[in-house]
Chain A
Amino acid sequence: MSKFQKKRGKASPAISTASLPDIVFILLFFFMVITKMRDTDLKVQVVVPQATELEKLEQKTLVHQIYIGRPQQRYQAIYGTAPRIQLDDKFATVEDIPLFVENHKQTVQPNLRNRITSSLRVDGKITMGIVQDVKTKLRKIGQLKVNYAARHRAER
């Protein structure tokens, strides 16, 4: 008995915080896994329409975003109010899409390239004209998998 008591000092033992990092790390990993980096700086106004028949986009690395909408207020002096396309961080035209898609393709493993999806994030208030042009361009370059981004709406 005395053998055990000998070790114990007079001061009360400090509470071990050694397991604290483990707890925090678990939280950290949780957020790392579910995280999606904040979207690129939007230069066009995009409020996607609502729909009910939605499907999830599975792998984010296989998705590239094409934004279409009217330029934000602060860009309207330069770019006007007609709907425009935004790729990455820049305003773009339909002609820039093939290179954009090709660049994304290069970052994807060859065996997964047929699963690349174009996510069209289009403002609900604009007209179909520019969307149609984008669709036609995508068809011409053989990028056929398209997802119209939408928010969920409860059934009527």
Chain B
Amino acid sequence: MAKKSRSAPEINASSMADIAFLLLVFFLVTTTIDVERGITVRLPEWSEKKTEQVDMKKRNVFSVLVNAQNQLLVRSELEKIENLREKAKEFIMNPNGNPELAEAPNTAIISLKNDRGTSYETYIEVYNELKAAYNELWDEESMRLNHQHYSEDLPKAKKDIIKLKIPFVLSEAEPTAYGDESN
């Protein structure tokens, strides 16, 4: 019987690197690093019933209309998108107790209505500004209460307190169809 060699023969691992490299190259090529981002929205539930008209106090409603020419009508006044954020913030918080603006942040409602001919870009921009207004208010509130920026690190309980004080209420009306593109 042949004596067993004491050291086991080394397995040639040089091809292992080749295999791994091949896989690596494959993933390098197929990879796209950028993560998907976007504006997250929760749509309202669909109901067949006609929703009954709820009478809102006029001062609590911040109506934003966007027409097919991408012009903005904010509370019956022509407005630029650049000013929308400041306007919305002022409306929600109403720091000077203006009787025309919202009674309190938690009674404020933003009503957004667009046309079928509104460009998607404008729509997103308007939505973004309105969301930004709330984000800024949340941040300010968070700094006041917790001395901490409103971010993902903030505990959920603290977030909930802020969101209860300044709830994001945006209602979207069925759009008008004046400027619809003929398909």
Contacts and interface: CB of A to CB of B under 8 A. Distances in A.
Given A82-B181, A132-B116, A140-B46, A146 B41 contact: yes
A131 interface: yes
B20 A147 contact: no
Given A18-B13, A36-B32, A127-B116, A149 B38 contact: yes
A59 B45 CA distance: 24
A54 interface: yes
A124 B121 contact: yes
Contacts, number: 164
Nearest to A118: B43
A135 B43 contact: yes
B125 A54 contact: no
A87 interface: no
B17 interface: yes
A139 B30 contact: no
Nearest to B124: A49
Size bin of chain B's contact surface: 35 or more
B80 to A, nearest CB: 12
A35 B30 contact: yes
B56 interface: no
Interface string B21-39: 1011001101111011111
Interface range on chain A (Cβ under 8 Å from partner) = 35 or more
Interface in A123-156: 123-132, 135-136, 138-140, 142, 144-152, 156
A57 interface: yes
Contacts of B44: 139, 144
A139 B46 contact: yes
A51 B88 CA distance: 17
Contact of B135 (A53, A56, A136): A53
B16 interface: yes
Nearest to B135: A53
B45 A142 contact: yes
A128 B120 contact: yes
A86 interface: no
Interface in A1-53: 17-18, 20-21, 24-25, 27-28, 31-32, 34-39, 48-49, 51-53
Given A20-B16, A49-B120, A125-B120, 14 more contacts: A24-B24, A34-B31, A35-B30, A49-B125, A51-B39, A56-B35, A57-B37, A126-B120, A127-B180, A129-B181, A142-B45, A142-B46, A146-B42, A147-B39
9 contacts: A17-B13, A24-B17, A28-B24, A53-B39, A123-B120, A127-B117, A128-B120, A144-B45, A147-B36
